[in-house]
Amino acid sequence: MTLVPPPRWPLALAMSLLGGALVGLLPLQEMFARAGLRPGWGIALMVNIGLPLASIFVAVWYPRVWTSLVLGPLTVLGFLGTRMLFKEPRFWNWSVALLIQVSHPVLLAAAIGCSGLAVVASMAVGPWRRVGIPDTGPRCAGCGYPLTGNIGGTCPECGAKTAAS
Ligand SMILES: [Zn+2]
C-alpha cells in the first residue's frame, strides 16, 4: 500500500491541465492528413483516447474521488488551451469567438467521460494506492485500538494495561 501525501492535490490538478495540453500538442491531425486519412480522425483519437488516458494517469497518481471529478474538465481545458494556441499564438488576442471555433460539443461529453473514468480509476487502485497520512500513533498491543492521547493506562476497548503515553 502506497500512501500519497494529501497536500499534493494542487499538483494533481496542474498535472491534468498539463496532460490535456500535451495531448493537444500531438501532431495526430497532421499525421492523419499526410497518410491520406481524414484529419478529423486524429482529433477523435486525441479526444477519445488521449484525454481519457491523461485523466486516468493523474487519477492513479492522486487517487481521490473529489479531485478525480474535476480532472475531466481540467484535462479538456488544457487541451482547448493548446488548440487555441495553434489557431492564435498571440494569446492576448484570444476571444470568445475563437473559443467557440475550437470547441466542439463532443468536448463536453469528453469532460464528463474523463471524470467518470478518473473516478473509477481512483477507486480501482484503492487496495494499492491511497491518499492519506501514515498511521504512526501508538496502538494497543492486545486489540490494535488507537491509543493516541490515552492517559488512563488501560485500553478503552479491551481493558488491557497499556504503557501510558
Ligand atoms: Zn486493547
Residues 30, 32, 36, 40, CA torsion sign: negative
How distant, in Å, are the alpha carbons of 119, 151, 162 from that of 136?
28, 17, 16
Distance 158 CA to ligand 1 centre (A): 4
The DSSP result for 100-163, as a single string, is HHH--HHHHHHHHHHHHHHHHHHHHTTTTEEES----S-B-TTT--B-TT--SSB-TTT--B--
Distance 133 CA to ligand 1 centre (A): 23
Q: Which H or E run contains 12?
A: helix 9-25
Distance 122 CA to ligand 1 centre (A): 33
Inform me whether the pLDDT recorded for 165 exceeds 50: no
Greater confidence, 112 or 134? 112
Distance 2 CA to ligand 1 centre (A): 27
Distance 12 CA to ligand 1 centre (A): 39
Q: What is the pLDDT averaged over residues 13-21?
A: 97
Cell readout for 150 is 490515552
Distance 126 CA to ligand 1 centre (A): 28
Distance 130 CA to ligand 1 centre (A): 27
Prediction pTM value: 0.81
Q: Looking at residue 55, what is its pLDDT?
A: 97
Q: What is the pLDDT averaged over residues 95-107?
A: 90
Mean pLDDT of the chain: 92
Distance 149 CA to ligand 1 centre (A): 14
Inform me whether the pLDDT recorded for 5 exceeds 50: yes
